[in-house]
């Protein structure tokens, strides 16, 4: 429902006729390159996943890993974060990897992705510190920002104290969950191919940024956009995916909001957001749909063997 509302809101900011003008005049060569970079990142993610499973004694087929990743992406468009559960379930069904181990490996890789995102955010803040600082200073009073910051720190402090002291109940469950996540994250450092894992992680996020940047060339009015604006837009768009299923409605608006900081017109900003979101979504829908259909066909021999063992 939120996604539908955001779609309506985005169309109220920029009429559909104006968006269509930018879309039909877009350079599809650069859109295609963006899709290619996105595809390469997904292939790398599927390949990287195998490094985490090998130390546990599971040599997963790249095809199954690839189809599990794309199936997860597609399922996330229906129920948020359900894709991660489905991804572990797919590997359990077709490769015999216990669900908890597969899911634990997904949690660990999410930590690696989070670290990369934090590095990109840090680099962006350093690159555009003066501009971003002046933007917020001009719009918010220092006392107000300081007050909200103090309140936030106090709330976080109370929350951390509550979790650390909890021995039973909800607080203890959160404490156990956080501990498990931390252990999953640290497991990355004990894998044999950790440097290959790191290289793939850098490649994945490099492709994400390249995908975002190269697609800006598809919209004529975005020629000359600064790398700072690109990175701020990329970060904003990345966070928007957690707002709605697959960033439906929120993705273009997040880019529009980020680009507005740099005084980029709303028309090309919103059009670019819809172009890149639509292109990447089409890739996921096509390959995710094919993956869900082809998985049982590709693994029919294994499934037949399991059925015979049960009988």
How confident is the model over 179-217, as pLDDT tens digits?
655 655 566 666 778 888 999 999 999 999 999 999 999
Residue 305 domain-assigned (yes or no): no
User: Quick check: is 78 in a domain?
Assistant: yes
Please report, to the nearest 10 degrees, the dihedral formed by the alpha carbons of residues 304, 305, 306, 311 taken in order.
90
Domain coverage including residue 112 = 2-300
Q: How far apart are CA 33 and CA 23, in angstroms?
A: 16
User: Is 237 within the bounds of a domain?
Assistant: yes
pLDDT number for residue 68: 95
Kindly give the parts of the chain with pLDDT less than 70.
1-4, 131-150, 158-190, 303-311
Domain assignment present for 98? yes
Answer whether 71's CB lies under 8 Å from 91's CB: no
CA atoms within 13 A on the CB side of 307: 6
Q: Give the per-residue pLDDT at 227.
A: 92
Q: Taking a C-beta distance cutoff of 8 angstroms, is the pair 94, 302 a contact?
A: yes
By C-alpha distance, which of 300, 289, 308 is closest to 75?
289
What is the tens place of the pLDDT at every residue in 234-287?
999 998 887 788 888 889 999 998 998 888 998 999 999 999 999 999 999 999
Q: Is residue 308 part of a domain?
A: no
Q: Can you give the pLDDT at residue 159?
A: 63
Residue with tokens 């969950």: 177
Number of domains in the chain: 1
Burial class for 168, CB neighbours closer than 10 Å (0-12, 13-18, 19+): exposed
Q: Is residue 32 part of a domain?
A: yes
Residue 60 resides in a domain: yes
d(CA 163, CA 182): 15
CA dist 210 → 57, 138, 148, 159, 227 (Å)? 35, 32, 35, 38, 11
80: Cα separation from own chain's centroid: 12
For residues 135 and 144, what is the distance between their CA atoms, to the nearest angstrom?
Answer: 15
b/e string for 199-208 if b means 16 or more Cβ within 10 A? Answer: ebbebbbebb
Residue 310 lies in a domain: no
* Alpha helix (H) residue ranges in the chain: 2-13, 16-24, 28-53, 62-75, 82-95, 99-127, 129-139, 142-165, 169-186, 194-216, 227-240, 250-261, 266-298, 300-310
pLDDT of 120 reads 94
Looking at residue 71, its pLDDT comes to 95
CB 232 within 8 A of CB 261: yes
């Amino acid at each position: 429902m939120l996604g539908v509302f955001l779609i309506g809101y985005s169309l109220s900011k920029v009429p559909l006729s104006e968006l269509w003008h930018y879309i039909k005049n877009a350079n599809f060569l650069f859109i295609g390159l963006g899709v290619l970079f996105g595809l390469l990142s997904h292939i790398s993610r599927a390949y990287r996943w195998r490094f985490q499973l090998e130390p546990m004694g599971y040599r997963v087929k790249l095809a199954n890993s690839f189809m599990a990743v794309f199936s997860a992406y597609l399922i996330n468009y229906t129920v948020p974060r359900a894709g991660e559960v489905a991804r572990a379930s797919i590997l359990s069904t077709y490769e015999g990897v216990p669900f908890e181990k597969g899911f634990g490996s997904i949690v660990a890789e999410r930590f690696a992705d989070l670290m990369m995102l934090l590095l990109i955010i840090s680099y962006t803040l350093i690159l555009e510190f003066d501009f971003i600082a002046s933007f917020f200073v001009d719009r918010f009073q220092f006392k107000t920002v300081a007050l909200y910051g103090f309140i936030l720190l106090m709330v976080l402090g109370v929350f951390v104290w509550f979790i650390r002291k909890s021995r039973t109940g909800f607080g203890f469950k959160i404490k156990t969950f956080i501990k498990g996540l931390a252990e999953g994250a640290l497991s990355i450092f004990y894998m044999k191919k950790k440097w290959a894992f790191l290289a793939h992680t850098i490649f994945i996020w490099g492709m994400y940024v390249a995908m975002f940047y190269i697609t800006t060339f598809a919209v004529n009015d975005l020629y000359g956009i600064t790398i700072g604006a690109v990175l701020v837009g990329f970060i904003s768009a990345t966070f928007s995916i957690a707002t709605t299923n697959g960033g439906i409605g929120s993705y273009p608006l997040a880019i529009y909001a980020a680009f507005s900081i740099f005084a980029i017109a709303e028309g090309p900003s919103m059009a670019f957001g819809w172009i890149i979101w639509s292109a990447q979504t089409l890739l996921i829908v096509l390959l995710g749909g094919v993956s869900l259909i082809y998985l049982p066909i590709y693994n029919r021999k294994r499934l037949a063997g399991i059925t015979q063992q049960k009988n």
